[in-house]
Amino acid sequence: MSGRSNEARVSQRAFLGVSGLLFAVSAALTIAGAASMTTMGEMPMPGGWTISSMWMRMCGQTWAGVAASFLGMWVVMMVAMMLPSLVPMLWRYREAVSRTGGTRVGGLTLLAGAGYFFVWTAWGMAVFPLGIALALLEMELPALARAVPLAVGVIVLLAGALQFTAWKARRLACCRATPGRCLMLSALPVDAATAWRHGLRLGLDCSYCCAGMTMVLLVAGVMDLRVMAAVTVAINVERLAPRGERVARIMGAGIIGAGVLLIARAVGSG
C-alpha cells in the first residue's frame, strides 16, 4: 500500500514538474515575442492609435511566414495563459484513467492536452486571416481607422456584459464540472481516441467560456504583456476560485468599467 502511495506521489511530482517547466518556457517565449514586436515598432493610424507589426508583412517576409510567426506566438501564448487552469483538469483525467487500470497514463494525458491546445490552434488559424483583412482595410480606409478606438471600447463593454449572461454561467459551469466528467470516463474505453476527444471537449468548453476574455485580448492588444497578464489572471481565477460565477461577474464589472473609459476617451479625443 505504501509502495503504491509513494509511486503516486512520484508521479504527481513528475507531472507538476513537467507542467511547471512547460509554463515557464511558454511564458518566457511569450515575453520574448512581445519584446520582439515592440522593437519592430508600430504604425500610427488615424484616430490616434497604432497598429502592431504583427498584422503587417515586413520587408522580405512572405504571407506564409507572417502566418507561421503569428500562429507560433499564438500557440505559445495560449499555453502560458491556459496551462494553470488546465493542469488540475489533466491531473483529474490522469487519476480517472489510473483508476480504470489503464496503462500508458502519461501518453494518454499528453494526448488529451494536445487535443485541448489543438482547439486553441484552430481558433488562431481563424483569427489570423480576419485580423489581416481588418488591418488592410484600416490602412486603406482612414474613416474606418478613426472609428477603431470607439469600436474597441464598445467591444470591451460587450465582453464585460457577457460575463453576466446565463450563457456565460453555463459555459463556466461546464469548465468547472470537469471532475464529474472525468468520473464518467470509467464507462469509456481507455485509448488514444478517447483521450483525444476528451482534450477536444475540454478545449471547446474552455474556448466558449473564454470568448469574452479572448475578444478583450484581441482588441486591446494580442502581444501587450499587461493585457495578457490581466486576461490570464481573470480566466484562471474564475475557473479555479470558489464561487466562480460570482467571480466572473466581478470580473465583468471591471471589464465594463474599462470599456466605458475607452469609449469616453475615444469620444473625447474625437
All structural domains of the chain with their residue ranges: 2-139+149-269
Query: Residue 263: which pLDDT band, with cuts at 50, 70 and 90?
Result: very high
Of all residues in the chain, what percent carry a pLDDT higher than 90?
A: 52
Q: Using CB atoms within 10 A of its CB, is residue 254 exposed (0-12), middle (13-18) or buried (19+)?
A: middle
Amino acid at the residue 170: R
What's the rounded mean pLDDT across residues 195-218? 92
Q: Tell which wins on pLDDT, 66 or 162.
A: 162
User: Looking at residues 117-123, what average pLDDT do you find?
Assistant: 96
Nearest one of 211, 216, 213, 208 to 155, comparing CA atoms:
216
Out of 40-49, 71-80, 96-105, 178-187, give the one with best mean pLDDT.
71-80
pTM here?
Answer: 0.88
Grid coordinates 486571416 are at which residue? 129
Looking at residue 243, what DSSP letter applies?
A: S
183: pLDDT confidence band, cut at 50, 70 and 90? very low
pLDDT tens digits for 38-73?
A: 777 678 888 888 888 777 777 777 888 889 989 999
Q: Which of 77-86, 89-98, 118-127, 201-210 has the lowest mean pLDDT?
A: 89-98
The mean pLDDT of the chain is: 86
d(CA 172, CA 175): 5
Instruction: Give Rg (Cα) of the chain.
Output: 21
Q: Which pLDDT score is estimated for 11?
A: 76
Secondary structure (3-state) at 166: helix
Distance CA 116, CA 110 (A): 10
What is the per-residue pLDDT across 248-261, written as a single tens digit (0 to 9) for each? 999 999 999 999 99
More confident residue, 73 or 97: 73
pLDDT at residue 248, rounded to an integer = 93
User: Would you state the pLDDT for residue 95?
Assistant: 82
Q: Are 47 and 145 in contact (CB under 8 A)?
A: yes
Cα–Cα dist 75/70, whole Å: 9
Contacts with 66 (C-beta within 8 Å, 6 or more apart), sequence order: 56, 57, 58, 132
